Amino acid sequence: MADNVDDDSQYRIKEGDYVVLKRGDIFKAMQIQPRKKVIFEKQWFHLDNAVGHLYSTTFEIVSGGTLQPQTLKDPESSNDAKEAGTDNRNIVDDGKSQKLTRDDIETLKEKGLKDQEIIQQLIENSSTFRDKTKYAQDKYIKKKKKKYGNTVTILKPSCRILAMMYHGREPGKICHLRYDTLAQMLTLANIHAGSKVLVFETCAGLVLGAVMERMGGYGSVIQMYPGGGPVRAGVESFGFAAHFHDMLHEFPICHVNALLAGTLDTTAKDPSADEKQSNMTAEEEQNQPEAEQQGSPEEQSMETNTGNDTDQDQEKKEKEKRKEAKAQEKKVKLEEKRKKLAAAASLLEGRNADGLVIASRFHPCPVLMGLLKFLSPSRPFVVYSQYKEPLIECYTKLKEHGGTVNLRLTDTWLRHYQVLPNRTHPLLLMSGGGGYLLSGTTVATERSKPAGSQRAEEPAPKRLKLTDTEG
């Protein structure tokens, strides 16, 4: 089990890899492309030099935007302060404590000084630094490091990192789903290798990617998508191995009713083709029947041989060839789409999915009621919503409808701590909210509904005691 083989190849950064850049608590996902200019935290550089290095290496950005592995360990604890004050009784804020001007600092930067050297200069030119307490000195250095930092760490993407990145950078894109809430979803839905999971999300593909990571390429995921096609930008960022995509299926939510009614036709022409005309140009449409009338390749070649060789003719033929190729390509694409739809439909038809995860900007109620029908009994489901009220509605509806137990409407409260000798306390800022979850388990539905649930879980509203105080 121990891999004594010293094989680092999978730990090295390769061209084309999806990576995450990190500085402090700031993350940014991207793909390594040759000679591509990258802007991160107001600095630009190229990632070419990072190729071949190990993941989690910290690089310095040197002039010209090239990266080189950091040589010095940062002076985190180098402040074995020669001198420090005990309190701030004699520190006056006159705005003159720093002798370096803004221009001086710019000059230092242009000289290509390392951030640590710049900070050293700032300290040496600060008249109050020596009088500050040791803690205040630490804080000063930390603040300056944040400002003049010119290092970047390159990480391998993971659900943890990407969920934190999205929540920090683009919370709107993921419906303000906080990373601890995402963690609850994956656990409450019992996402694991080998199951068949339905996902409906409009979180840029982050939730889908998280589910796929937890399944490790075993089992199948069916992404139900609204509109013209699934959004998977977030999935890309995970940089999954090719075989992970073999387990990923997609099914348009607009065909759910047809599938449930058994009227979905995936054998003949893709019925969605007619609906997908929005992404065909009118010209293409006109060409379509023509293209289909174009005969077999033999006929084609005969045609081309009988033609005379004027330029015009040539051009015409070229045009026709191009048209032909285009039509062919479209046919293949349509056929592929049809096959995909058929594959997803056959997975859904058994109505024996093992889990359901919903996190979207849509009202969760119809989505949940529609998709629950595809689950086997005794399987978990979880619905995320940025707001509590729609989940109250879901809860009420499920209670009326039956077919589920163990319903819980929850959210989580998350607090980070600063833990330092003699300076331990909760962080001064915390997230206001990371959304709400409704989770539960499906059970076998009965043919006849029981007359009056035996154990209503919602206590009956208390009868109002009204004391008449009038007259």
Stretch that binds another protein, among 100-108, 135-143, 228-236, 434-442 (CB under 8 A): 434-442
d(CA 265, CA 60): 58
Query: Binding to another protein by residue 424, rule CB under 8 A?
Result: yes
Query: Of 3 and 93, which CB lies nearer to another protein in the complex structure?
Result: 3
Which residues lie closer than 8 Å to 306 by C-beta, 6 or more apart? Answer: none
- Give, for 299, the enclosing helix (H) or strand (E): helix 297-306
For another protein, the binding residues in 331-390 under the rule CB under 8 A are 352, 354, 376-380, 388
How far is 212 from 214, CA to CA, in rounded Å? 5
Distance in Å, CB of 465 to another protein, minimum: 8
In the list 20, 198, 215, 341, the residue contacting another protein (rule: CB under 8 A) is 215
Return the structure tokens found at 415: 């607090």
Distance of closest approach, residue 369 Cβ to another protein, in angstroms? 17
Residue among 282 and 429 whose Cβ is closer to another protein: 429
120 phi/psi in degrees, rounded to 5: -55, -45
- CA 104 vs CA 41, 94, 100, 297, 323: distances in Å: 22, 20, 6, 74, 64
Shortest gap between Cβ of 350 and another protein (angstroms)? 11
Q: Do 203 and 177 contact (CB within 8 A), yes or no?
A: yes
218 binds another protein (CB under 8 A): yes
Binding-residue total with another protein (CB under 8 A): 75
1 vs 428 by CB, closer to another protein: 1
Q: Is the dihedral of CA 203, 205, 210, 214 positive or negative?
A: positive
Q: Decide whether 302 or 430 has the Cβ nearer to another protein.
A: 430
Among 140, 225, 251, 436, binds another protein (CB under 8 A): 436
Residues from 395 through 414 that contact another protein (CB under 8 A): 395-396, 405-406, 408-414
Residues 186-205 that bind another protein (CB under 8 A): 186-188, 190, 192-195
What's the closest the beta carbon of residue 456 comes to another protein, in angstroms?
10
CB of 31 to another protein, least distance (A): 21
Could you identify the residue written with the tokens 């997230």? 431
Q: Count of CB atoms within 10 A of residue 226's CB?
A: 17
Q: Rounded distance, CA 19 to CA 239, Å?
A: 8
Helix axes 102-110, 115-124, angle to 10 degrees: 150
Evaluate whether 111 touches 146 at the Cβ level (below 8 Å): no
The minimum distance between CB 110 and another protein, in angstroms, equals 31
Instruction: State yes or no: residue 236 binds another protein (CB under 8 A).
Output: no
- By CB under 8 A, the residues from 144 to 173 that bind another protein are 158-160, 163
Using rule CB under 8 A, residue 241 touches another protein = no
Site for another protein in 49-68 (CB under 8 A): 54, 56
Interface residue with another protein among 281, 448, 466, 471 (CB under 8 A) is 466
Q: Which two tokens stand for residue 464?
A: 């109002």
> 89 or 415: whose CB is closer to another protein?
415
**DSSP H or E run through 196:** strand 196-201
248 touches another protein (CB under 8 A): no
Q: Which stretch binds another protein (CB under 8 A): 27-35, 103-111, 177-185, 331-339?
A: 177-185
CB of 16 to another protein, least distance (A): 21
Beta strand 196-201 pairing with 436-442: unpaired
Our measurement of the distance from residue 57's CA atom to the centroid of its chain's CA atoms, rounded to an integer in Å, reads: 23
- C-alpha to C-alpha distance for 8 and 12, rounded to whole angstroms: 6
